[in-house]
A and B are shown apart, each in its own frame.
Chain A
């Protein structure tokens, strides 16, 4: 029962994500493109929920939708003063892009479908496998095997660096 509902939710999400992402790259107006990107990100958060990664879905929503997208919108507002329009694209280039993308999708899908993944039977993962926040927290802060203090700290330095770099690059001289 639950699995059928899941399936329906998945298909709805999949269609939503696909359409939104296509619109995000084809929309003539930048602000709209950003909005479609937001939809894609929200749909992705939905996928994480379906996969029972609740924490990841929350991070996705807060960081992407809440942080990055705001940045995008600010940047769009700053850099497109004369109305929000984009020149029509080069026909040949669009054709090349479509061909490449289609070829890529077909090849990758074929590979994916032909490959036999050694995955665990669905039965094993059905059910509520939500990961305890405690486990995530101790994994982030620990130094044992399968624990991630070092990348965590490296990331914090990277973020600091990008904050400083962003200020340094964008400031007026």
Chain B
């Protein structure tokens, strides 16, 4: 288990090497170094997964938390200290596998995709930095380490979104992503501080041990504005998670983040970083369940709303990467909802398990979708659907793999998405959240619709499409990851996930609930068939619908004006009401005080500096007179 440290160390080393010496090396060499490094890390994480699940296995029928390495970094009090360490438990092992696999695929893929780009070595250095930070995040032993790496992934995401820094849109998008997530992280930080103030520890194992009893005990009775302190803390922590995972209303940065290179979108903005929020909630799950159940319910409803909301927007977008971005938001919202409705322990914790399961399967098929979209963009040099069509003839491998991913995300058996989505729907139903169940089922239909809309628009055609340059199949370096990920998308659904991951570490048995499965299969088929009808043969039925409900269509096309609303809130409300008075206060009261002190000091010193005449005789006179006065005082007073 000690080799877990290497998983972290290798990407960091590669980052330093390629980041510092990248200019000296040939671009290709930096790519090779990065890829080999991540390949080794992938191998180690697979070994760890085998060893953890099959070598060490269950102790007392339960998967234990293992901390193979830790060291104390900062000590505040005897109990309160920040450690840096490696925590191995089922979900962190799962995340290690997901991150390293997708990262490896993206590294290989980027050879083809980024070939000849300026800043190739910078790109690989940032990829390594991101991989390191993300791995550090998932193996964090304490919530503060998690926060540190949380910010690091934010930074590397910022750097990679702004990779084409000469493009204004990319710069704006990177700034937007950074500011929005940073704003959310403020909540996270405050939540962490509140939590640690009451519990006196940052340690995740201590916080979650014994059904979160530490949090329950220490925050008992403390309340603020009518809500318990635990609720506040956990809601604020969730705010950080919502920012990273693009939950409504903090989702606005993710679509814009598509300005980055497509493999980056696949790695960061589809498979790994954006699920950090889900991972955070899952990490603190016992605390949420037992100390702040209200927050959990809130998470479920926010997730459900976001899922529907993003799916509706995704139906109208024409930029293929934006469709995928909104689909990502929607799918992550599924995971959040599942966590929100979940209970703790055994079959009660089905939602937790299904959330993690969906995270696992989604990472592969969504990365596959992005990489496939990247191959298409690579071929036609455009992001717009209007410029595509009929590509199945030119790009057979991309076509097949993309189809597999579409089937997986739509929830068509036997592809992976079916199994995980089915578990999520089952968990909402079994926990009695009928509204959530219906909404998510509708969303599943919408998902199938927009995915097949995308698929048909790209690979089938309204008419014979002519291209200036004949589109070509992607090179081997790009096809290989597509094929591997397609295989993953086919088989990961068959993993008996509940044998490995559960809310309390004790495996339990799950069965496909046929009533749910049949319904979800049928709605997915309906969604897919509608898309087939609308788009496959160039029928214009879709235009009719647009004419029927133009307002809704345009609202969805403009993403329900969320960007404008945020703009209005920041510009008119936050700036005018909060920032300007604060700026005034800072400029006049705080600076004024300082200036007054400075001017006062200057005045006083310029008036007394006359005493420092530089004339020794005057000094001597004062000295003698002073001595005489002291003598008199000593003798007669």
Contacts and interface: CB of A to CB of B under 8 A. Distances in A.
A104 B628 CA distance: 7
A114 B625 CA distance: 21
Nearest to A97: B621
Contacts of A96: 621
B624 interface: yes
A96 B631 CA distance: 19
A100 interface: yes
A104 B635 CA distance: 14
B627 to A, nearest CB: 9
B632 interface: yes
Interface of B: 621, 624-625, 628, 631-632, 635
B625 A111 contact: no
Nearest to A114: B635
A104 B624 CA distance: 8
B631 A107 contact: yes
Q: Which 4 A-B pairs have the closest CB atoms?
A: A104-B628, A107-B628, A100-B624, A103-B628
14 contacts: A96-B621, A97-B621, A100-B621, A100-B624, A100-B625, A100-B628, A103-B628, A104-B624, A104-B628, A107-B628, A107-B631, A107-B632, A111-B631, A111-B635
Contacts, number: 14
A67 B628 CA distance: 34
Nearest to A106: B628
Nearest to B632: A107
B471 to A, nearest CB: 85
Interface string A93-111: 0001100100110010001
A138 to B, nearest CB: 39
Nearest to A96: B621
Contacts of A103: 628
Contacts of B631: 107, 111
A105 to B, nearest CB: 10
A100 B621 CA distance: 8
B67 to A, nearest CB: 67
Nearest to A108: B631
Interface string A36-50: 000000000000000
A103 B629 CA distance: 10
Interface in A95-149: 96-97, 100, 103-104, 107, 111
Given A100-B624, A104-B628, 12 more contacts: A96-B621, A97-B621, A100-B621, A100-B625, A100-B628, A103-B628, A104-B624, A107-B628, A107-B631, A107-B632, A111-B631, A111-B635
A96 to B, nearest CB: 7
Contacts of A97: 621
A100 B631 CA distance: 14
A97 B621 CA distance: 8
B541 to A, nearest CB: 102
A152 B631 CA distance: 34
Contacts of B624: 100, 104
Contacts of A100: 621, 624-625, 628
Contacts of B632: 107
Nearest to A103: B628
